[in-house]
Chain A
Amino acid sequence: MTLAITGKVWVFGDDLNTDAMYPAFAMKMDPPEAARHIFYEVRPGWTDQVSAGDIVVAGKNFGLGSSRPVAALFTELGVAGLVAEEFNSLFFRNAVNAGLPAMTIPDATTMFDEGDIGAFDISTGEWRNETTGASGSVPKLPDLILEIIASGGVLPRLAAQGYLPAELGDLLRSSTVAIRGAGSGA
C-alpha cells in the first residue's frame, strides 16, 4: 500500500458522522452495495461521481460516531485516502487499520477546492495542491501507524505474523474480504 497519494479531491464540511456514511440499513447489505450509500443524505449521488484514486477532504470532527468499518467502504469505492482538518480518533484508527492513508491538515478545506489535484505523502507529512501550487507539511505519523497502513491494514499484517493463513495475505488487502473477515462494529 502506497503512503504517497495524488488524486482529485472532493471537499466536504464539518461533523460528518459515521451514520451519514454507513447508515444502519446499509449494514444489512454486502460491502459493495453498502458502499453505494456513503453520504446518501449529505450528498446524494456522490458515489456515482467519485472515481478510483480520488481523495476525500473533510473539515473538523470527521467520522464522529460508530465503530462500523466506514473506511473499508471508502476503499470499496476506490477512494485513495482521507484528509481532514480533524479526525475522530476511532474513525482515524479504522482508516489506519483498513490500510487507507489518512492525513490531518488543520486548514485542509481552505487550501483545497473541490476538483483540485492534491498530493499527500503520509510518510513525510508533506502535502501539495497541484492545482494552486500551495503546499505545506504536518507532523509525520508514528512509524508503527505507517507500518500498519503500508501493510494494507491489520488483517494482512496478522496473516504475515501467522495469526491468519499466510495464503490469505494478499486477499486480505481487499477491503471487501477484510470487512467480511472481521465483521462489523457499531
Chain B
Amino acid sequence: MSMTIIEKIFARKTGVGAVSVGETVVVDVDMTVLIDLQFATMWLEPLRIHDADKLAIVMDHAVPAPTIKDAAGGPHARKFAAKFGIDRFYDVGRHGICHQVIAENGLARPGEILACTDSHTCAAGAYNTAARGLGPAEVYSIMCTGSTWFQVAPTIRYQLEGVKPDTVSGKDIFLHIANEYGDAANLNLEFGGPGLASIPMHDRRTIATQGAEVSADFSTFEPDEVLTAFLDERGVAGYDAAAPDPDATYRDVRQVDLAALEPYVARPGTVSRNGLPVSQLGKQKIDQAFIGSCANGQLEDLEIAADMLRGKTVATGVRLLVTPASQAVYREAMRLGYLQDIADAGAVITNSTCGACFGYHMGVVGPGEVCLTSSTRNFTGRMGSPEAQIFMASPATVAASAITGHITDPRSVTR
C-alpha cells in the first residue's frame, strides 16, 4: 500500500504493513523532550520512567528565571535528572530553545518519532522526523510509559518547484503558503519536490516549525542529500529515513513556484490568510523589532541580520532585540563577528530563551506598540499587551525595518 511520510513512519512503528487515515495507532516514542516549565511547579516525581536514554530535558522558556516560581523549577529538574540518570540534560549555560538543542544534538532522527512539551516541536519535521508538540501531562505520560497514540490524519502535499531566490527565506515561503491556503487543522503537511534542493536546512526548519501556526498535526520534509549532509556533519547515523511513496494518497497536492516568491509579511493576529508581499504593505511604522525563536534564531538568521546591519544604525525610537536560538549559536555567532555587527548597529542581544516570543520575559511589548517579529506566532497578546500589534516577517525584513523604522522590503536596502 502506498503511503505518505507520516503513514510510513506510523506503519513501521506499529509493526503492521500499513496504516490508514482515520485509524488510531499506539506507537513507541523514540525521543521525549521535557522543558523547564514542567518543573516550575510542585513537580510530581514519578516512581519509575521508561528509559532515561530516550529522554532529554531542556531549560529554555524561562531562563535565566524571571520569577521565583520559575527559579524553583531549576532544582526540581536538576534533582530529577541526577536521580534518574538522564544524561541529556541541557541546563542553563549549555542550553538553548528546545528545537534548536534537538537539532544540534541529533535528537531528531529521520523516520523516528519525537515528542516534546512545546507546540513548535513539528520543527523537527525538517529532519524527516514525525515530531509534534504535546501537552505537559501527555509528555509526562510518555516519559513514564514510552508510548502514546495518534490518529492518522490526511496529508496535504506541498510540491515545491523551481529555485528559491536568494532574497527569499523559509519564513517568506511559509507566510506565502499560510496566506494562500489558510488553516490545516487535523491535517499533516508534507514538503518535497524538485524545488526542495534549493531550500537550505535552516529554512526548512523555519517552515516545519510554523506548521503549528496553521493548526497542522505533523509537518515533515522528504529526505534528500541536503539532509544527509546536515546529519553527517552532526554525527547522526544508522537511521532509516521515510520517503513518501510516489502514488501516496493526499487530501490535496499544492504546487509552489519558488522562483515567483518575494518577501512576505503577516498582519497582526494570525498568519492564516492574513499576509501579503512586503512590497505591497504601505508604510507601517514599528516600535520593536525581534529576531529570534526556534523558527528564526538560527546561526544563518543571525548571519543575515549581521549582513543587513553591518555599518548601519537602528532607527531612533526602534528597539531591535536579537535572541540566538541556543548557547551554541550564541558562541558561534560571537566567534564569527555577527554579534559584534548586530550590537554595533544598536541592537540588544539577549541570552538564548523562548522569552520574547511567548511574551513572558526579555522584551514584552506595551499597549499601542507595533512589533515586527521573525518569531513563531503573532496572536493578539502573544508578545505582551493585547493592545499591541504584531506583524511577522523574515529576519532580513526585520533587520531592514529596524534600520528604516518602518516595515521594509529587504531588497530595497543596500548592504
Bound CA span A24–B37, Å: 12
B44 touches A90 (CB 8 A): no
Chain A residues with Cβ under 8 A from B41's Cβ? 179-181, 183-184
- CB proximity of A16 to chain B, nearest CB, Å: 10
How does the 8 Å CB contact mask read for A33-60 relative to B, with 1 for contact and 0 for none? 0000000110000000000000000001
Whether, in the assembled complex, B359 has its beta carbon less than 8 Å from a beta carbon of chain A, the answer is: yes
Q: Does B141 reach chain A (CB closer than 8 Å)?
A: yes
Interface residues of A in 141-176 (CB under 8 A from B): 142, 144-145, 153-155, 157-158, 161-165, 168
Sample (22) of A-B pairs whose CB atoms are under 8 Å apart: A20-B381, A24-B359, A24-B382, A28-B67, A40-B386, A68-B135, A89-B186, A90-B119, A93-B135, A93-B138, A97-B135, A97-B138, A142-B24, A154-B137, A155-B44, A158-B145, A182-B139, A183-B38, A183-B43, A185-B118, A185-B133, A186-B119
CA–CA, A61 and B377, complex, Å = 16
A-B contacts at CB below 8 angstroms, number = 181
For B384, list chain A residues within 8 Å (CB). Answer: 24
A24 to chain B, nearest CB (A): 4
Judge whether B109 is part of the interface by a CB distance below 8 angstroms: no
| Contact between A158 and B46, CB atoms less than 8 A apart | yes
A67-B133 in contact given A87-B185, A183-B40, A183-B41 (Cβ < 8 Å): yes
- Interface size counted on chain A using CB atoms at 8 A: 53
For A7, the chain B residues whose CB sits under 8 A away are: none
Contact between B37 and A90, CB atoms less than 8 A apart: no
- Cα distance, A73 to B125, chains bound together (Å): 30
Considering the complex, give the chain A residue whose CB is closest to the CB of B67. A28
Q: Which of B153, B186, B213 has the most CB of A within 10 A?
A: B186
Instruction: Identify which of A23, A67, A158, A181 contacts B134 (C-beta below 8 A).
Output: A67
CA distance A23 to B360 in the complex (A): 9
C-beta contact mask, A68-93 vs B, less than 8 Å → 1, else 0?
11011000000000000011111001
Contact of A163 with B144 in the complex, beta carbons under 8 Å: yes
Excluding A60-B185, A68-B135, 7 further A-B contacts by CB distance (< 8 Å) are: A20-B381, A144-B149, A154-B137, A158-B141, A181-B41, A184-B38, A186-B354
**A161 and B136 alpha carbons, distance in the complex (Å):** 18
In the complex, which residues of chain A have a beta carbon less than 8 angstroms from the beta carbon of B137? 69, 72, 94, 97-98, 153-155, 178, 182
The answer to whether the Cβ of B379 comes within 8 Å of any Cβ in the partner chain is: yes
Q: Are the C-beta atoms of A185 and B140 separated by less than 8 Å?
A: no
- Whether A67 contacts B136 in the complex (CB less than 8 A), given A20-B381, A41-B380, A185-B118, comes out as yes
310-355 of chain B: CB within 8 A of chain A: 354
Segment 123-172 of B: residues with Cβ below 8 Å from A: 132-141, 144-145, 149, 151, 153
B83 contacts chain A at the CB level, 8 A cutoff: no
Q: Which residues of chain B come closer than 8 Å to A155, judged between CB atoms?
A: 44, 137, 140-141
A27 within 8 Å of B by Cβ? yes
- Is B183 within 8 A of A61, CB to CB? yes
CB contacts (< 8 Å) of B174 on chain A: these are none
Q: Which of B31-51 contact A (CB under 8 A)?
A: 35, 37-44, 46-48
Contact A184 B354, beta carbon cutoff 8 Å: no
CA distance A61 to B185 in the complex (A): 6
B336 to chain A, nearest CB (A): 30
> In this assembly, does A5 line the interface, its C-beta being within 8 Å of a C-beta of chain B?
no
Partner of B44, one of A20, A72, A181: A181
B47 touches A163 (CB 8 A): yes
For A88, the chain B residues whose CB sits under 8 A away are: 185, 215
